[in-house]
Amino acid sequence: MALGFASATADSILNAFGNATAYTGTSTPFVKLHVGSPGAAGTSNAAGNTSRQSLSFGTSSGGTMTNDVALTWTSVSTSETYTFYSIWDASSSGNFLGSGSVTANAVTAGDTFTVAIAGLSATVNVAA
């Protein structure tokens, strides 16, 4: 199970940190839901609802940042259980940036699914 930053994202961040190269994050990340691990490319086990929602993060603190706007998918197309998400730099196609897990959420076709504010987080280990 490959969860975390995509290899290309991690390399860009580390090169900016260790080799003084420029790193430019995406202006608007997008979230896609999955029913199993998205895998190293972010394309495995995609949910039936193929739409991506724009994601906005608050300022990081202590190595963690969370979404500062709720993410909502209306009238989901398939009855299934969401367990993972992937993050992309475009609303369709684009580059895979990373992935993570969510608390299992069963939905029925036609439901609305929402990730509440602070319901999705990105964390980097920090020295303690």
110 CA to centre of own chain: 23
Q: Which residues in the chain show pLDDT less than 50?
A: 1
Return the closest-CA partner of residue 102 out of 128, 77, 80, 125.
80
Tokens encoding 51: 């739409």
pLDDT at residue 84 in the model: 94
User: What is the reported pLDDT for 23?
Assistant: 87
Neighbours of 117 (CB within 10 A): 14
Q: Which residue type sits at 76? A: V
pLDDT score for 125: 85
